[in-house]
Amino acid sequence: PGQLMGAASVDLPTIVVSSGPMLNGKWQGKDIGSGTDVWKFSEAVRAGEMTLHDFMAAESGMSRSKGVCMTMGTASTMASLVEAMGMSLPTNAALPAVDARRMALAHLTGKRIVEMVEEDLKPSDILTKEAFENAILANAAVGGSTNAVVHLLALAGRVGVDLTLSDFEIGSDVPLLVNCM
């Protein structure tokens, strides 16, 4: 969010390429999440339902590659919302960091930023009230981080979009479509 706020401040053509999420963790043949499951497992250890040895084995399988948390924490949430607002190319939020398609995405992003410079397409042209509303709806649909609220409000303030907490009510009827652990 900070880089996007900086880009909005200078209002020069900008497009975002995130690092992408790490691969899912694995333990005992099951997918485990870097954020969600570590809390669940630590509670199980405290309750005597899991040994410390098993906890350490599970924890060692959580971070299998480079990238941001593969659960819907702040980084994955904001990558999704940046995409929903039109500040990155499609698939930016979802492609794992180690996926070979990330190189093609970077190439296409480089091509697009040159076009954006030629078009003089700036964050102030893209980050409209409608773009923020789209991000709010996307956040509800993906079960995004509650941190998205403060980040979207701060970004909206940076570009002069009148966004308030009450605007987030538009997402209250949106069904949860994604479970990223």
Q: What is the pLDDT of residue 14?
A: 98
Q: What is the pLDDT of residue 64?
A: 86
Q: Give the residues of the chain that fall short of pLDDT 70.
A: 180-181
Read off the pTM. Answer: 0.89
C-alpha 181/C-alpha 70 separation (Å) is 8
Q: What is the pLDDT of residue 181?
A: 56
Rounded to the nearest 5°, which phi and psi values hold at 51? -80, 160
Residues near 170 by beta carbon (within 8 Å), at least 6 away in sequence: 133, 136, 137
Strands 30-32 and 25-27: antiparallel
Q: What is the pLDDT of residue 43?
A: 96
Residues near 80 by beta carbon (within 8 Å), at least 6 away in sequence: 93, 94, 138, 139, 142, 144
Q: What is the pLDDT of residue 146?
A: 94
Q: What is the pLDDT of residue 65?
A: 92
Q: What is the pLDDT of residue 36?
A: 81
